[in-house]
Amino acid sequence: MILRGRPFFLLWICLGLGFLFSRVAVSQIQLGSRISVGENNYWVSSNGDFTVKFYNRSNGHSAGIHFNSLSVPPSGQTVVWIAGGDLTVGEGSYFELTKKGELVLFDSLVGAIAWTSQSANSSVTSAVLRDNGNLVLLNRQNDIVWQSFDTPSDTLLPGQNLSSSQTLRAASGNSVSSYYSLRLNKLGQLQLKWESDIVYWTSGSHSESFLRAVLSPDGALQLLDQNSKSVWSVYGDDHNESDVKYRILRLDVDGNLRLYSWIEAARSWRSGWHAVSDQCNVFATCGLNGLCLYNSSGSAVCKCPFTLTSDVNAKCLVPYQHNCRSGSSMFAYNHTFLYGVYPPNETIVHSSLLQCKNLCQENPLCTASTFTNDGSGQCRLKQTRYISGYLDDSVSSTSFVKRCSDPLAVLPVSPKPPPPSAKNSQQKQSHKFCIPCLIGATGGTIGTFLIFQIGVAIWFYFIRNSFRPKAASAYSGPLPKSFSMFPYLEIREIAEDFKHQVGPMTFKGMLHNKLPVVVIALNATLEERKFRSAALVLGSIHHKNLVKLEGYCCESGHRYMVYEFSKTKTLLKCLEDPKMCTRLTWRKRMNICISVAKTISYLHSGCREFVSHGNLNCETVLLDDCLEVKVIEYGLGCLEASIDGGCAEMDVRDFGKIVLTLIGGLEHQDSVECTYKHWSESQFDRIVDKRMGSGVDTDELERSLRLTFWCLQVDERMRPSMGEVLNVLESALGVDSPPPPFAARTPQPKELEEPSESNSAA
């Protein structure tokens, strides 16, 4: 509390009395100061404009620099910087300026450091949140040792430099980093990119000389050369207007770059300039949720014209899968331009409109085509089911989308499905998720589709884009800052000479920043290129239920993965432990199933490319003290086994085993046939783990068992997808009675289209 006199007095008035009751450090931050989740304390700049505090996000809490809530209400966008990029931490976490002069974000849920400023050895003596929103660490000579301005998040404040080594990355709505970034390229132009290689906006000017981008205090975005002379600039429409209190440049979630001004009178942000004038021209701005179009009031909205579900959050997939049983037909969409995402490449040929349709229809791999009709006579053939695009009367393109003639497998979900029970089976029918029908519809296509998906992943990392020549030289996607490649010597150091073995080929250790980790040794003969690319993919995955990959080692004769260490027990250990077992009530066990299903479903379809777990079992599913799920060793099984298909079905089978173990305890895990027999004779008491006590929900039990037997089908084509599994567990879909899991049988579409009658009462 260094401030005295007038500024201090003003601050009182500014921040009100609430201040009195919370522990607050003002402007100058003393070594040892700390702010914590849930304690509502913060650090504030001397002008009162900025605060450092925690805030709630959908998947946890983040520490960041905000506009003071008295200046910009919390309903407006207030965050200008987040510690660790896009990091979130759990309850009870704190952000501290340690006695050693290091900023540390400690995740109490995990019991480990999530991020640090790595300034412990730099003789930091003080820290200040400056009036311009820059959090700086200073040494005794008042030199800046570290500043938040050097690690921007999605926002640039006036006076902050964006040099060629820095990136603005859009915030993300979920647990994966955003694909959108802003950087200076080698020619000194600002570029907006999607993923690592699709450029959808480039600023003017180029010059080989050293450049940096800044937002001037009067509201211009400028490129300055080494003499601070402007070589390129854009001005907001309210540039130089004095009644604007704050200005920021932000790369928004929708992928557009905008200059914002805070209009005090309206108490809101106003955009005075945006980089991409037609929002629909931002690559994949609708993500997987459809095509971009303008509604009658002129807002860009996302719609999926070719699927039948009305759920706006549903993925927009071309309703055609390779290997369609009953043939396919092409549907025309006028004034529509389509492009593929995941992967974005396509084949371009010259043809007529009619040929463009026929070429796609005749090619079993083609899912959609677009005839540009702009005089170029180009027909763009796409093979991916993940398609985006735009739709407007001014667009001259016509697109064709292939649709299987098979009947629809999954019925749209009704908002309130009644719990499935024998009594209202009539009503149940309409909500039934009929897996046999699905199999009738998709048959053996899943495997083919998976091979295709894996192809997509491989394509992403190895193969250069065929129609966009700007191939990235190396992977430069949104890797977390802390993800590292370790030389073998460092691995030995981290693993403390492999002294503390905690499992087969698994060692406990510690990174240099004191972050405890687990080092796992892998088969040293794994092909280097494959291993590296897999490590990079796995390192870019973030999910609260996945144990984070901190780094890897890939040297001749050495292959290691380094994971964060969390205080957890394997599910197997938990089920063996009688004390723990009583804590694992029916509800808890079902929640564990749902968490695991969510996590695996995320790996399968929520990541930028398909990732399978490959080794899902009671030892790779961990539980922390709060019985929250953490999944480890994802993506490794397939690497070792070099499987070229069926990875998802394998995960589904393994998931089924886990559910069965959770329901029946450890004794039942190897006797699927016995359990099936008991289930078909409604002898539930012989199935359920006695240690759970009462509280077993019989409807839920029936549903979970049916689902499990579907997951354990010998014919892997009959197994549901992880997304469907999740829907059934969450009661969004019903599930039919399964055939015996141990009998491989070829589904006959006729027979399977009729949902079989439930033969076991709940």
Ligand X SMILES: *[C@@H]1O[C@H](CO)[C@@H](O)[C@H](O)[C@H]1NC(C)=O
- Residues lying near ligand X in the complex (CB under 6 A) are found at 56, 118, 120-121, 149, 159-161, 212, 240, 295-297, 299, 301, 334, 343, 345-347, 383, 459, 463, 466, 512
Q: How far is the CB of 700 from ligand X (least distance, A)?
A: 27
Angle between helices 647-664 and 722-729 (to 10 degrees): 30
Report the 10 Å Cβ neighbour count for 1: 10
CA 266, chain centre distance (Å):
35
Q: How far is the CB of 366 from ligand X (least distance, A)?
A: 8
What is the DSSP secondary structure assignment for residue 604, as one 8-state letter?
I
The angle at the Cα of 721, spanning 719 to 722, to the nearest 5 degrees, equals 120
Cβ–Cβ < 8 Å for 635, 612: yes
Report the 10 Å Cβ neighbour count for 730: 13
> 431: helix, coil or strand?
helix
**For residue 259, what are its two tokens?**
């200059």
- Order of strands, edge to edge, in the sheet holding 168-169? 168-169, 180-184, 190-194, 198-202
Of 45 and 383, CB closest to ligand X? 383
Of 148 and 442, CB closest to ligand X? 148
Q: How far is the CB of 301 from ligand X (least distance, A)?
A: 5
Q: How far is the CB of 442 from ligand X (least distance, A)?
A: 22
- Order of strands, edge to edge, in the sheet holding 135-139? 28-29, 124-129, 135-139, 144-147
Residues 6+ apart with CB under 8 A from 677: none
**For residue 120, what are its two tokens?**
């412990």
Cβ–Cβ < 8 Å for 407, 753: yes
> 262: helix, coil or strand?
strand
Of 117 and 189, CB closest to ligand X? 117
The angle at the Cα of 616, spanning 562 to 570, to the nearest 5 degrees, equals 70
Q: How far is the CB of 618 from ligand X (least distance, A)?
A: 30
Report the 10 Å Cβ neighbour count for 561: 27
Q: How far is the CB of 353 from ligand X (least distance, A)?
A: 9
Q: How far is the CB of 613 from ligand X (least distance, A)?
A: 26
Of 343 and 664, CB closest to ligand X? 343
Q: How far is the CB of 222 from ligand X (least distance, A)?
A: 11
> 703: helix, coil or strand?
helix
Of 392 and 716, CB closest to ligand X? 392
**For residue 9, what are its two tokens?**
């007095």
Q: How far is the CB of 235 from ligand X (least distance, A)?
A: 8
Of 149 and 560, CB closest to ligand X? 149
Of 343 and 665, CB closest to ligand X? 343
Of 58 and 694, CB closest to ligand X? 58
Of 239 and 589, CB closest to ligand X? 239
Of 141 and 295, CB closest to ligand X? 295
Q: How far is the CB of 610 from ligand X (least distance, A)?
A: 16
Of 61 and 653, CB closest to ligand X? 61
Q: How far is the CB of 697 from ligand X (least distance, A)?
A: 28
Residues 6+ apart with CB under 8 A from 694: none
CA 66, chain centre distance (Å):
24
Which ranges of 480-527 does DSSP label H, i.e. alpha helix? Answer: 488-494
Cβ–Cβ < 8 Å for 671, 687: no
Cβ–Cβ < 8 Å for 274, 221: no
Q: How far is the CB of 359 from ligand X (least distance, A)?
A: 12
Residue 59's alpha-carbon distances to 34, 90, 187, 363, 597, in angstroms, are 22, 9, 38, 43, 17
Cβ–Cβ < 8 Å for 170, 253: yes
Of 93 and 601, CB closest to ligand X? 93
Q: What are phi and psi of 717, to 5 degrees?
A: -70, -20
Of 149 and 709, CB closest to ligand X? 149
Candidates 437, 448, 435; CA nearest to 646 is 448
Q: How far is the CB of 159 from ligand X (least distance, A)?
A: 6
